[in-house]
Amino acid sequence: MRYRERDNRESFSPLRQITGNDHNCTSVTGTASPLAYPYYTGKFESMNDVVTPRFDSRVASGEVIVNPMTKVSYEREVNIAPMAYNVVKPGQPCPFRRQYVENPQALNIHDGPVGHRDVNIDVASLRFQAGTRAAAAVASPQFAGSTFLAELHETIYYLRNPLESWNEFLRQASKDRNRSRFKRSQLLTNFIVDSWLAYRYAVRPIVNDAQNAIKAIESTVLARPKRYTARGSASSSGSDSDTVVTASSGSGLGYTYTHTTNTTYSVRAGILYEYSRDPNTFGFQFRDFPVALWEAIPFSFVVDWFANIGPWIEAIAPKAGVKELGAWTVANNVSASTRQTWWSYGGTTGGYPRNIEANCLSTEVYTSETKTRTPNISVGITHRLEPLSGDLGTGRILDLLGIGQQLLRPRSREIM
């Protein structure tokens, strides 16, 4: 293993200067307590990897080399605001006042610099999703002919439904013009639902299939390289935060701090392989039939939103003529934490309350990124972490509502 690092950090040392006056209006200067632990700001980077002898010449000769690697980088920033307070004592010519420049008192309530809170992300599931998608993409046909035929009945159903619904809407509307507003809106809703599902699961797939079929025909006459790369990816994000108020009473000081961490974990998997015979251009090989059978099951696509059944079936299906040359999984963990601490309870001096003028707010920011590469992939069935999130998630929610409405509504009478 080879180790390298770049360290651009500097030691953080607050000034801790005190100014102010006493009750007799006499000026006071001095220094405050120092920072209780070492603190370094700036950026640090390190790299662990494997050195392969004659790497360039071996790759040029056709050898595939996938080495493990770990890259870590992190950066810290900290800002401290002034601390100031006064104590008013009756009968004294001046209020007792203290002002601190860059006082680390707020930082000293902690045991050390800010770290990352634990964010619950199922890393194993992300690796399974990315690896299974990559394995499923090995020697995948440009035009999935078997799946197209298996889904043809369902496609025709979704295409036919809007026409039936429109016909039913017109027939019912012309039959009874005095129908209630609710009933008329229900008929219109049925038509809109059927049209949406037709677009999502009939029109759009047919357009994609037509484009893929054209590409498949073109590929039969164009020269192809012998090596291919199959890829898969998955990612998830999460956050965790907390607010703590330190106990305080009597003459003691009290502080409040908030601590928030945001984490994004992404995984990319890849397989480099050779196809020793003509590619599976039109998707009518034995390996395509299990996938086609799964796709033909009603609403199997809904199951695939929540678990990777379809990609797993495709990943484990035997692929004749495929020689795997190398595989890899790259995981990237990016986290950002912020901790803010401030003086929230003044306490007392000589039995008189301290009036806070400046709360010595300290703000710490800690960002880190860890990237690892391992020479393998993970294949298996797992749940999808965020099946209904993002823009695609919005479409799926509409799909579920439309499918549910279509299944629950009574069958319309035969169209005349």
Query: 267-293: per-residue pLDDT in tens?
Result: 999 999 887 655 454 444 545 555 556
* pLDDT value at residue 397: 54
pLDDT digits (tens, 9 = 90+) for 211-255: 555 555 545 544 455 788 999 999 999 999 999 998 776 668 899
What is the H or E stretch that residue 51 is in? none
Residue 175 lies in a domain: yes
Which among 131, 132, 143 is positioned nearest to 285, based on CA atoms?
A: 143
Residue 254 lies in a domain: yes
Residue 414 lies in a domain: no
Handedness of CA 163, 166, 172, 174 (dihedral sign): negative
* pLDDT value at residue 63: 85
Domain that holds residue 194: 2-408
pLDDT along the chain (416 residues), means of 10: 94 89 93 90 96 87 90 96 93 92 90 95 92 84 47 50 49 50 50 52 52 51 66 93 84 90 96 70 50 58 65 68 88 97 90 92 97 92 62 53 52 40
* pLDDT value at residue 314: 74
Which among 377, 131, 162, 368 is positioned nearest to 233, based on CA atoms?
A: 131
* pLDDT value at residue 143: 42
Strands (E), 146-279: 227-245, 254-275
What is the H or E stretch that residue 154 is in? helix 152-175
Residue 413 lies in a domain: no
* pLDDT value at residue 414: 39
Q: Tally the domains of the chain.
A: 1
Residue 415 lies in a domain: no
* pLDDT value at residue 140: 61
* pLDDT value at residue 222: 45
How many C-beta atoms lie closer than 10 Å to residue 27's C-beta? Answer: 8
Whether 136 contacts 49, CB under 8 Å: no
Which among 244, 7, 265, 252 is positioned nearest to 114, based on CA atoms?
A: 244
Residue matched to tokens 């507003």: 181
Tokens of 141: 């046909």
**Cβ-proximal residues to 123 (8 Å cutoff; 6+ apart), any chain:** 265, 267, 331
Residue 210 lies in a domain: yes
Residue 80 lies in a domain: yes
Whether 357 contacts 85, CB under 8 Å: yes
Residue 104 lies in a domain: yes
* pLDDT value at residue 288: 55
CA–CA gap between residue 143 and residue 110 (Å, rounded): 60
What is the chain's mean pLDDT, rounded?
76
